[in-house]
Amino acid sequence: MGFRRLFMMYGLVGSILGVMAVVGMLTYRLQESPWRWPLLAIIVAGFGTIAGIFWIRRYVDRQTKESEQRDQR
């Protein structure tokens, strides 16, 4: 796979993971702050976003494959 293809497939996921890492470090440093739990919620939402990206990608690939199979018949 070329760099461009990998970037297009995983660039958004990588950027979300990078932001989640920074927020995670900030959350770790805020020991007794009231902002700690909302920041943890942002991290959980990031994982949900990544799961949604992969679900959408699988759905689109499945639809494309079915469309190609119908066209071949």
50: helix, coil or strand? Answer: helix
Q: Given the structure tokens 């770790």, which residue do they identify?
A: 28
d(CA 11, CA 4): 10
Query: Does the predicted model carry a pTM greater than 0.95?
Result: no
pLDDT in tens, 6-43: 888 899 999 999 999 999 999 999 988 999 999 999 99
d(CA 28, CA 45): 17
